[in-house]
Amino acid sequence: MRVRISGIPLWGWAAAAALYFGIAAAAVEFAWDRSIDVLAEVGAHRLDLYAASLRSELGRYETMPAIVARQESVRALLAASPPVPPDLLQTVNTYLDAVNREAGSLAVDVIDLHGSVIAASNWDQPVSFVGTNVSYRPYFKDALAHGSGRFFGIGTNTGMPGLYFASAVRDGAAPIGVATVKVSVDALESAWRTPAEAAMVVDSNGVIVISTVPAWKFMALRSITAEQQRGIQASRQYAGRTVEALPHGRLGDWGAKAWFARFPDWTRPGRDRRYLSMSRPAPQAGDSIIILLDVAGARRQQLVALAFVTGGFLIVGLYCLYAIQRRRAIAEKLKAQDALRNANDQLEITVRQRTAALLQANERMQQEIAERARTEQRLRDSQQEVVHAGKLAVLGQMAAGLTHELNQPLVAIKTLCDNARTFFERNQPGSAVANLERVSRLVDGMANLTGELKTFARRPDIERVAVSLNDVVAHARLIFEARIRAEAVQLDVRIPEGTTVCAEPSQLQQVIVNLIGNALDAVADQEKRAIVIDAGEADQHGRVLFTIADSGTGIAPEVLAHLFEPFVTTKPRGQGLGLGLAITLRLVEGFGARISAANGPDGGAQFSIQFAAATTIVQGAVHG
Ligand code: ADP
């Protein structure tokens, strides 16, 4: 697996890192080179400046001893044989003092051939050179030998360092003494002093004689040989001090004119530091001028360059990352669009396939519907048969009921007829007629009962009319009258007067007979035997809710779910076929009504029929 960070492969990061380090290294090196070059240029200028200032500062004193040597009074003083005339000595001393003041030098002396200072500008000062012997000083020896001398040293009397210029005083060709001028270098040192740079002048011994770092003064940059040490001691050049070496080292060249050197850090004692070092010959002061330039500026430039490169890299890197992310986002968007298009295409294909499948299914369904319709028709036909069969079953019950119901009036009629004959025989025609009238009424009642049987036996027709609910219930009640009385059932009918429902009269009769019959069966074994037949007022659409509730056992839950299915019965064999409610359902549906069953809150069953509005039907057809 390829490892990616922010979407960029590892090799990409590695390449970027390599590029960064390469560029950073080059920039740092370039900054260093440039800065050191600039520093070297500055150094060269500084050296020029210092050399020029040495020349101008010291050069103007160079000829001074020769001028003093030519002074008449000086020559006269040296030529005079002792004892020296005090006036002349005074004249020379005064002259030397005046010259010294004018020139700004440290001291101007006149020395005799033995090396004794016989006149000095500071003749009247507490520390006067007069009487001092300087015959061991090289400048004295050089002046006598070669006419002039130059020497850097520390004054043996004053302890002040300075540059000595000397010139022979001659009488004709022969030297009769030496005139010297001592110059201070303090002004130069303070003029050269800058914080980022050290400047020093070394003499021919390699000893630092002028230094902007005071601590380095009279320390040697070269190792001093024993012979040199002896010479130094003899000339008391450094006022008897032992010359110590200044620890330093050369680290490497920078071009032909500069080099790196390690020197003690003058700003932080006890530490070493690397400096860019340059030198220039300085014949006026001894040997050469050396400057040490602080490279901290170059280091800063390196840091700046590094910061620039890093900053630039960060900006470029961030831009690249942004560009990559953007490209990726665009690519992903395009991909998503492609995917969406593909999905759409796929969807279309699927929709087409589904539509085709749906059409096929639809076709199949149409066929199935046609098949169902045929089956339903067949079923309806057979159900009509079953309804008829159910009716016959009820007829059976009715026949039993009727037999019982007719038996009683028949016995009564027979008795009444027998009595009527007896009344006739006794010639009591009034009583006989009264008996015959009662017979007639009884026969009327029997005719009523048999009329019901006729109604029931008719084949169903499906004409729906507005049927008086009270009439139908009354007829049905008549059928069960004997049983109701025998079993002491309390049948309560609460149907508002004139309530009509939409139904076929004989079928509704059958429905009500079925429901009352079942209710009577249900309460038969109960202590309390009550049946309530109820019908509310028609609602705003003319629909009537009919209920018949009983105080029976209620419908068992397992029966309730299949109540309206054919051949569902809990009654003993021979008593129930399980067809009653199945036929009832068919009939009720035929009226456009709905039947439902439930167990009432007090335990008995409750059947409800929601009749369709009867208002649409011609009112004249009310059954009665
Ligand atoms: P059958 O009366 O021949 O059993 P039905 O279809 O009329 O057939 O009734 C089916 C069954 O429904 C009955 O056997 C009885 O268990 C139950 N049933 C019907 N009416 C009631 C009722 N009012 N109370 C309790 N159970 C009833």
- Give the model confidence (pLDDT) of 496-520 as tens digits: 998 999 998 888 998 999 999 999 9
What tokens were used for 55? 């020349």
Residue 597 lies in a domain: yes
Residue 273 lies in a domain: no
d(CA 569, ligand 1 centre) in Å: 6
What lines the ligand 1 site, CB under 6 Å?
514, 518-519, 522, 550, 552-555, 559, 563, 568-571, 576-582, 605
- Calculate what percentage of the chain has a pLDDT beyond 70: 90
Q: Give the CATH number of the domain where residue 165 resides.
A: 3.30.450.20
Pairing of strands 288-294, 117-120: unpaired
User: Which atom of ligand 1 is nearest to 571's Cα?
Assistant: 14
Residue 467 lies in a domain: yes
What's the rounded Cα separation, in Å, for the pair 546 and 561?
21
Unique residue bearing structure tokens 């004139």: 498
The angle at the Cα of 136, spanning 133 to 140, to the nearest 5 degrees, equals 85
Q: Give the CATH number of the domain where residue 586 resides.
A: 3.30.565.10
| 457-484 mean pLDDT | 82
Domain end among 147, 164, 184: 184
User: Which atom of ligand 1 is nearest to 522's Cα?
Assistant: 24
Domain end among 184, 200, 216: 184
Q: Which of 480, 531, 569 to mutate to test the pocket of ligand 1 (most atoms within 8 A of CB)?
A: 569
- Number of structural domains found in the chain: 2
| 358-373 mean pLDDT | 90
Residue 6 lies in a domain: no
User: Which atom of ligand 1 is nearest to 518's Cα?
Assistant: 20
What's the rounded Cα separation, in Å, for the pair 315 and 323?
12
Phi and psi angles of residue 23, each rounded to the nearest 5 degrees, phi first: -65, -40
Sign of CA pseudo-dihedral 429, 435, 438, 442: negative
Residue 232 lies in a domain: no
User: Which atom of ligand 1 is nearest to 570's Cα?
Assistant: 14
Task: Look up residue 532 and give its amino acid.
Answer: V
d(CA 563, ligand 1 centre) in Å: 7
Q: What is the dihedral of CA 133, 136, 141, 142, to 10 degrees?
A: -120
Range of the domain at 164: 64-184
Residue 306 lies in a domain: no
| 162-186 mean pLDDT | 90
Confidence class for position 30, pLDDT limits 50, 70, 90: very high
What's the rounded Cα separation, in Å, for the pair 100 and 96?
6
Q: Which residue's C-alpha comes closest to atom 19 of ligand 1?
A: 518
The angle at the Cα of 198, spanning 194 to 204, to the nearest 5 degrees, equals 135
Domain end among 142, 164, 184: 184
| 535-561 mean pLDDT | 90
Residue 388 has pLDDT above 80, yes or no: no
Residue 573 lies in a domain: yes
Q: How far apart are the first and last CA of the chain?
A: 95
User: Which atom of ligand 1 is nearest to 393's Cα?
Assistant: 3
Buried b (16+ CB within 10 A) or exposed e, 251-280: eeebeeebbbbebbebeeeeeebbbbbbbb
What tokens were used for 205? 């011994």
Residue 490 lies in a domain: yes
